[in-house]
């Protein structure tokens, strides 16, 4: 243990190999023992305009480190309390790396994404998939086939119905296309649109889903770090919504009972 | 093992959490068992102009993945053969992560760099330190105190003597400031200068050092990914010289005997 | 017809030489037969700070392709219907290229802009002028001299009166300086200001003008692609407002009667 | 006087060596005779993620020139009148340059900032300090030790209490971290957050402070031009809030009496 | 003819819809009547690292306009004479637009590229294909099946044999991966390598091929404008080598006889 | 004098309002007392492609600070000695700011440049003009009308004769278009070309001119900081050649006698 006096690392976010929230990296699923498992799906072959979201998962991981200063969860200044404290202190979050990608071979790439997601589910962890482009939602969702029926809650700028969901009492899968946010917030998202949601609107909708349904999975897509502004605002915002969503999911009674 | 048929991952460089050359991450030095150990020293507080080289180690790791397509070493088209094959196949390279950094506290940051380097040496591995700015050479070199005497071979644009070294028969430590290269090659190096070395000149000098001395350590500094061009050429070139240097070091008779 | 089976091109926006909405290019005005004619005025010599809006027309054309996936108008998810369907299917939109520009010679450059606009008007088409900087409005507007009297509706962040116009029953000319939008939306507009209009406010104002007046021309200025973020958000938003405005103009009873 | 006919310079903001608002540069404090003195504190060593705000003061100065077209104050289109007219016409604003910075030596750097601020106070001018990162507030504030008691009004995204202040009847020091604004407005601020204040909210809060307290100093921090978008929106917005705040401070009865 | 007095356009390269060398756009191959036909193949699905070369053809066309100031060929300052004068004056160069691309469907995309290239050949023109990534060479080359046997001369950084070719007396196809140039010259090429060719070396090799063989086609790949430096140096250099190659090809006796 | 102990400022290049080499700013020519006077000519209206070199003078001044660490000249590691020591210690270099620019009014802008240059000459100082685009050479050169006859030595990529000059025994004016350098060195110069001079070649040619002629003025043009890479390499290189040229000019016997 070479670092510092008294043991603890300070952990500034520019230090270290970036796994999601600085969690342990576990690429051998047979040994996975976690409540939440983050996986990357770094493919953007379906991009209809500018590509590059294949680098999204890597960059979201990097910006997720900004929420980990002492390894004891993250502090929410609005709620004035910590979230994810137990999960981070007890190491209940794991990063299982990326599904392997075979350029020009969508079938096998998607099979890899499904297999990795399925492996996570079978080990009893909730999968959190980071894209990649919006196409990855399909191979992630089909990994849940055979599980109990569930709803897919989809946040996306390009679908012609309301993103907000209420009154659910069932399990859901939540899929977030970062382009649901207003284009002013996501300069590194090629499919950004005007008149999008504010961050507060997306957060509140996510929290409502977390409180009213049993969330069994989460994905977030369409972050393009190659084209983002230099400060990485889009990746940071993506990490922000994932971390905040996980915090609220893990704060539900059913989650605490599940442990 | 969820990926692909027949087991092997394809391993494109945009896939996966980026450790150096995709090697195993070992942050617990007590369990380190490797011939080469890569460590990051992500500090740039001594930067006299534009800062940002604190992100150099992370970016060099990412670009190092471009040399690993099948996990069996890298192929050198000039020499028409593979290098580092044994090291990569047998897992003799490890990535031990970054020394912890305490902004504004240079003394403790440097102590952490020295301690991490020292830990690597004591476990019998050759340390490869990725900066960070040029100041990190000092805490890395002092980690060798108490070892047998050695030469420091320094490649830097800003020192008033010849970088090339010949006729050595001793052990050395090799320190490369990427700014020794011509400024046309390193748009992401703030201290770049005109009339620098070509890549071929640096490579040949490095290979000469590898062949004529027992290299016991290596560092590379002054890569600033925040300001580099979008394709990351400076990080790629830094990875290139480190990988090529390691390939030649591990190809020496004394290295093979050491194993 | 070399493309695909069954004839039709798929038409992703990264494919093809970018004319506005992929319309036919007609640089010989004598043969112009269209209801709407788009022209570029690529000059930025009056820029009081950072130049580069001379590339605005070219980039807006490129981003306009994002609204043309099947050549049958564009779909408005808010209104849940298509617009510009007849205009695009029947080829009633033409791109007449750019007015020629003579750097340092404003008088002749402006004469060229006026002549090209005038030519469009004389062929019975509505001119849509893409800048260039805000100075081009003058040579565009004067091309209407001799026509029936009209109002100029000017959206601009830097004029000290309300941009919204109501109760008009006359013809207008509509001029949009993209800097009327809030600076968070237009990172590639040098004259952006805080406290600007939201996109919804600009769109609603534009639609109100389209519904209450006979719009006889349109210009849009101050998009600077050289300095925009890499995803081209400012150009996209500019294309968005032009396309949406044209859709509503062509949806008015007087327009349909005119045909 | 080589410029133009009739004497006056036109003064476009891309012309000239950029002092704040084009004011006279006075680096010898013994000769300082001004009501407002702008100073830079170009240090970013405390930055917990991406550095570069050391270039903030220089860039804010550059963008401040956009408010000076004729040297007779700036025109506020909302209030429909000029502000800072007397200050600019009579040369009551000075730029005293930057405090000297010693990288890795925070103690002496902070001593320099305090000394420069103190020197300004002792010459009877109100200091306006441009950062640099948020840490510079401390050495600026301590320069007021020994003066009458005052409040520090702190606008910052990362402090867990309301930024708005009301009912004050005392003197204050006002400190603005640009990250208090919504992240959509400040692409060049690394610590930007979602759900921040709009510019109008910050401006109104600033104006309220200016009207209800005797403002005796001002600082603005966390602008990072190295990573900003190419149009420099973050620097421009920072200059905007400083200029608008100064305009309102100098418009108060107590300020006019002080002269 | 609305432009200027005396008729001629000045034709600065920021003016106009960018076809290659400003040549006539002919998307209906049945009416193609040209000696040289430029086509785009905007696909980058095979990219093993950072994507974006799908925008290469569009950007190379834009930069090709820098060689056309008066429409009378381009002037070579080294040779002190004009090239391509007859071709440009008589309109013997055409731009046939892009092959249609179907993301994730490589088979049909390649079929489209082959069909468009084949159509050009059948109309008697020499195809010049602009990528896109290096994979497009295959569908372009197979379009020549059934023609007389030919050599493929391949310039590429990643193939293990000498790029220079001499003593040929046959027809060839020339394929240029821009990454054959030294990485210092091509910041917008992701596959750039150190120790590449200088521009002079590539040009001389190209000219030797042009002089010693009957060149029947040309492609150029791997230009990534999304990631290039803001001045577009990589696209400019790509346009440079294509224009200069065409100039020398059209200067050969066999070419002049062919007309 | 608030800075440091013992008086002297450390003077890192990110500190301070950037005049050329940190020299005194003298905008009142009547009081000018210097051997060398640097002036800016920030106009780019003649730019035939991408504009922005109007910001060149400002950025070259900023990068010139990198040569001033202790105010005692700059150290040339090749010559192993200092240059400009007397000039800097005794304050014989002044920065007279920028000629005023009137966009779209080339005649008056050029008159201002000529007047400012003429004013410098009349005060007995050697003018060093920083552009701006290549057009500024004309108004600078005509300021010497009425002086003794002189040669103009022009370094430019776009003129069809050899840049190197030898055997001169007369006075000259030296004009450097930064595009004379190879494009790999100047990513922020829009008119960059391949096969340009190396820095060593330009420097040696400049030094030869300095040694063999009486240089009476210098200009440097075509640096575009808006489009340069983030590290500002092009501005740095421009500052480098100006500083190095001045060092050699001031080292000539005739210069020392002139004092």
Flag whether pLDDT at A90 surpasses 50.
Answer: yes
Enumerate the H helices of A73-131 as residue ranges.
85-89, 106-122
Pair of tokens at residue E219: 């492609």
Residue F172 is predicted with a pLDDT of: 81
Question: What is the reported pLDDT for E159?
Answer: 64
Supply the mean pLDDT for chain A.
90
Is the separation of the CB atoms in D143 and D123 below 8 Å? no
pLDDT at A67 over 50: yes
E154 touches chain A (CB under 8 A): no
Tokens of E149: 């046997």
Instruction: Tell whether E139 is within 8 A of chain C (Cβ).
Output: no
Judge whether residue A164 has pLDDT over 50: no
pLDDT per residue as tens digits for the range F35-55: 999 999 999 988 899 999 999
CB nearest to B184's CB, from E49, E184, E195: E184
Q: Is B177 left (phi over 0), alpha (psi -120 to 50) or beta?
A: beta
Cis amide prior to A222 (ω within 30 degrees): no
Query: What angle in degrees, to the nearest 10, is found between the helix axes of A199-212 and A233-249?
Result: 20
- Look at residue D167 in the predicted model and tell me its pLDDT: 45
Residue C191 pLDDT greater than 60, yes or no: yes
In the sheet that holds B214-221, the strands lie side by side as: B24-25, B93-98, B36-41, B126-131, B214-221, B171-177, B151-155
Which tokens hold the place of B39? 């460590």
Task: Tell me how far apart the alpha carbons of residues B94 and B38 are, in angstroms, rounded to a whole number.
Answer: 6
Asked whether residue F70 carries a pLDDT value surpassing 80, the answer given is: no
Query: Which of F6, F12, F14, F229 should we substitute to test contact with D (largest number of D Cβ atoms within 10 Å)?
Result: F14
Tokens standing for F32? 């000018």
Please tell me which residue of chain C has the smallest CA distance to D66.
C49
Mean pLDDT of C117-127: 97
- CB nearest to D46's CB, from B44, B55, B104: B104
Least confident range from A42-51, B199-208, C233-242, D250-259: namely D250-259
pTM of structure: 0.95
Please indicate whether, in this complex, the C-beta atoms of A184 and D189 are within 8 angstroms of each other: no
Nearest CA in chain D to F131: D15
**Closest residue, chain D, to B107 (C-alpha):** D104
| Both structure tokens of F112 | 């201002």
Residues contacting residue D92 through CB under 8 Å, at least 6 positions apart: D34, D35, D36, D86, D259
Using only C-alpha atoms, chain A has a radius of gyration, in whole angstroms, of 17
Tell me, yes or no, if D139 comes closer than 8 A to chain A by beta carbon.
Answer: no
What is the Cα–Cα distance from E248 to B257, expressed in whole angstroms?
A: 57
What is the model's pLDDT at position B8?
A: 67
In 3D space, the residue among D159, D216, D223 whose CA is nearest the CA of residue D187 turns out to be D223
CA E232 to centroid of chain Cα atoms = 16
Mode of pairing for the β-strands spanning E171-177 and E151-155: parallel
What is the predicted pLDDT for the residue at F169? 54
Q: What pLDDT is recorded for position F159?
A: 65
Q: Confidence band (pLDDT; 50, 70, 90) for B169?
A: low
The answer to whether E50 contacts A226, with C-beta atoms less than 8 Å apart, is yes
Asked if C101 contacts C11 with a C-beta cutoff of 8 angstroms, the reply is: no
In this prediction, residue E173 carries a pLDDT of 85
- Residue B73 near residue B85, CB atoms below 8 Å: yes
Assign E205 to helix, strand or coil.
Answer: helix
CB-CB: which of A48, A184, A189 is closest to C185? A184
- Name the closest residue on chain C to residue A183, using Cα atoms: C185
Q: How far is B105 from chain D (nearest CA, A)?
A: 8
* Min distance B172 CA to chain A CA atoms (Å): 24
Beta strands in B67-146 (DSSP E): 74-76, 81-83, 93-98, 126-131
Mean pLDDT of chain F: 90
Q: C39 pLDDT exceeds 90?
A: yes
What number of H helices and E strands is found in chain B? 7, 9
- Looking at residue B257, what is its pLDDT? 86
Q: Copy the structure tokens of residue C68.
A: 């043309």
Residues of E in contact with B240 (CB under 8 A): 194
Contact E55, E145 (CB under 8 A): no
Distance from the Cα of residue A2 to its chain's centroid: 32
Tens digits of residue pLDDT in D105-138: 999 999 999 999 999 999 999 999 999 999 999 9
pLDDT (mean) for F233-248: 96
Residue B17 and residue A97: Cβ atoms within 8 Å? yes
Task: Give the residue from A183, A158, A170 showing the smallest Cα distance to A209.
Answer: A170
Q: What is the DSSP letter of A252?
A: S
Give this complex's ipTM: 0.93
Name the token pair of A1. Answer: 């243990």
Probe site for chain B from F82, F233, F240 (most B CB atoms < 10 A)? F233
Chains that touch C (3 or more CB pairs under 8 A): A, D, E, F
Q: Are F210 and F190 in contact (CB under 8 A)?
A: no
The predicted pLDDT at position D158 comes to: 82
- The verdict on a CB contact (< 8 Å) between D100 and F226 is no
Provide mean pLDDT across the span C164-185.
Answer: 77
Residue C132, chain E, CB below 8 Å: the answer is no
Q: What integer pLDDT is reported at residue A166 of this predicted model?
A: 41
Q: How many CB atoms lie within 10 A of CB A2?
A: 19
Residue C169's pLDDT is what? 54
Alpha helices in E36-96 (DSSP H): 56-64, 85-89
pLDDT of residue F235: 97
D129 vs A: CB within 8 A:
no
- The four Cα atoms E137, E142, E148, E152 give a dihedral, to 10 degrees, of 20
**Strand-by-strand arrangement of the E214-221 sheet:** E24-25, E93-98, E36-41, E126-131, E214-221, E171-177, E151-155
Nearest to A231 among D48, D195, D227 (CB): D227
Whether residue B199 lies within 8 A of chain E, CB to CB, comes out as: yes
Residue A227 touches partner D, C-beta closer than 8 Å: no
What's the pLDDT tens digit per position in E142-157?
999 888 888 888 898 8
Q: What is the DSSP string of A22-52?
A: GPEE---GGG---SEEEEEE---TT-SS---
| Whole-angstrom distance, CA of residue D164 vs CA of residue D173 | 14
Q: Is the pLDDT of residue A36 over 60?
A: yes
| Angle at CA of residue F142, ends F137 and F143, nearest 5° | 105
Packing angle, helices F199-212 and F233-249, rounded to 10: 20
Does the pLDDT at position E2 exceed 70? no
- Residues of F within 8 A of C55 (CB-CB) are 50
Question: pLDDT per residue over E3-34, tens digit each?
Answer: 333 446 778 999 999 999 999 999 999 999 99
Between the alpha carbon of residue A186 and those of residues A229, A235, B10, B42, F95, the distances in Å are: 9, 9, 32, 28, 43
Please judge whether B50 and D226 are an interchain contact, meaning their C-beta atoms are less than 8 angstroms apart: yes
Q: How far apart are CA F259 and CA F252, in angstroms?
A: 11
Give the pLDDT mean for C185-208.
Answer: 94
Q: Which two tokens stand for residue D189?
A: 């601020």
pLDDT at D168 over 50: no
D43, D45, D47, D56: best to mutate for the B interface, most B CBs within 10 A:
D45
- Chain F residue whose CA is closest to C190: F226
Contact A46 E106 (CB under 8 A): no
Enumerate neighbours of A (3 or more CB pairs within 8 A).
B, C, D, E
Q: If DSSP codes are grouped into helix, strand and coil, which group holds residue B81?
A: strand
């Amino acid at each position: 243990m070479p670092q510092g006096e008294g043991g603890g690392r300070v952990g500034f976010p520019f230090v270290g190999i970036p796994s999601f929230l600085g969690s342990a990296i576990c690429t051998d699923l047979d040994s996975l023992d976690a409540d939440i498992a983050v996986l990357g799906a770094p493919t953007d072959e379906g991009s209809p305009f500018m590509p590059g979201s294949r680098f999204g998962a890597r960059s979201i991981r990097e910006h997720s480190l900004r929420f980990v200063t002492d390894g004891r969860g993250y502090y929410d200044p609005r709620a004035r309390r910590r979230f994810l404290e137990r999960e981070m202190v007890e190491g209940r979050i794991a990063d299982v790396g990326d599904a392997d990608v075979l350029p020009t071979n969508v079938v096998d790439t998607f099979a890899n994404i499904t297999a990795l997601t399925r492996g996570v589910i079978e080990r009893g962890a909730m999968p959190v998939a980071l894209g990649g482009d919006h196409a990855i939602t399909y191979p992630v969702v089909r990994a849940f086939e055979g599980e109990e029926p569930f709803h897919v809650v989809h946040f996306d700028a390009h679908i012609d119905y309301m993103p907000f969901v209420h009154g659910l009492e069932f399990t859901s899968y939540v899929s977030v296309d970062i382009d649901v946010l207003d284009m002013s917030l996501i300069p590194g998202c090629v499919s950004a649109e005007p008149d999008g949601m504010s961050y507060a609107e997306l957060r509140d909708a996510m929290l409502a889903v977390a409180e009213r349904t049993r969330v069994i999975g989460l994905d977030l897509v369409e972050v393009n770090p190659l084209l983002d502004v230099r400060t990485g605002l889009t990746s940071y915002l993506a990490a922000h919504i994932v971390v905040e969503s996980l915090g609220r999911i893990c704060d539900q009674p059913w989650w605490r009972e599940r442990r």
